[in-house]
Structure 1
Amino acid sequence: MRWIIPLVLISTLPAVAQEKAPDAAAADSTPQQNLTIETAPYRKDILRRCEFVTECVENEPCTETEFTPEITGIGGGLSADDLGIQAQMVTDAETVELLGVTSGKSMSLAGGTFAARHMITITENGATRYTVHYADGPFVISYLGTCN
């Protein structure tokens, strides 16, 4: 999974013009291809505790739940506000490897296996949506809540 991390970091970089002046190319001392979370100028530990109160399974009515996963990991990037993220979401049932990005306090992560794809989106104020898409079925489970 380490080869994915540089791709995540590159996706958080601003677009650069295709042509450079000859002296500008010589001034590039650190190739962006070698940038990883571990070598990024800005690094940050990630810890979010989530509390989901609503669970919706496929096309059934939503029900109340008490689902409380924890997200831990590390972020890195070229600025303090926009970071590539490598994280784990730990639940009572499993631990899921996730990759994603932050922008300010917002965060978007995705991961899992082909059999179960996970996506979590956390807004600036902590409002969170988490879905798991299962290939067998197929069917989806959605959770509504907060992560702080």
Structure 2
Amino acid sequence: MLKQICAAAATCFVALPALAQTCTFTAECYEAETCQDTSFALTAELDDAKLITDFGDLTVVGVKRVAPLTTVFATGEGAEYLLSRNGDTARFTAHSNDGPTAITYLGTCEGEF
């Protein structure tokens, strides 16, 4: 009996896979200028509190979930970032500390947090 209890307890502590999602953006909008085609992607790894991008990792400082919208707040050198997801639709904005200026990316995300 004790052996069965120990085995059951051990399975309760098995690590679950990290939840991540990949977002792909196809439009880039700089300030009030006309949006342009782009190819930009990021991976959101909330278990590790980071957004992984081609230009470096960003530190996640907060997550707000109000169904169906999930918003991720992140920081990095020289800017603050906001990732919003509603279903598969996503928006990622970079708010530069030099300016202020903002760049908005429009796209989609796959996977779950």
TM-score with structure 1 length normalisation?
0.57
Aligned residue in 2 for 1:122:
85
Note the 1:43-82 alignment, pairs <5 A.
45-74=18-47
- 8 Å CA contact retained: 1:114, 1:135: no
**Which ranges in structure 2 are unaligned for 5 or more consecutive residues?**
1-15
Q: Secondary structure at the match of 1:69?
A: strand
Segments of 4+ in structure 1 off by > 4 A? none
Q: Secondary structure at the match of 1:60?
A: coil
Greater relative contact order (CA < 8 Å, ≥ 6 in sequence): 2
- 1:27-59: per-residue Cα shift (whole Å, max 9, x none)? xxxxxxxxxxxxxxxx88320101100000112
Aligned residue in 1 for 2:64:
101
For residue 141 of structure 1, the aligned residue among 103, 107, 112 is 103
- 8 Å CA contact retained: 1:70, 1:91: yes
User: Matched residue pairs, number?
Assistant: 94
Q: Distance in 1 between matches of 2:34 and 2:91?
A: 17
**Which ranges in structure 1 are unaligned for 5 or more consecutive residues?**
1-42, 75-85
TM-score with structure 2 length normalisation?
0.73
**Backbone CA RMSD of aligned residues:** 2.2
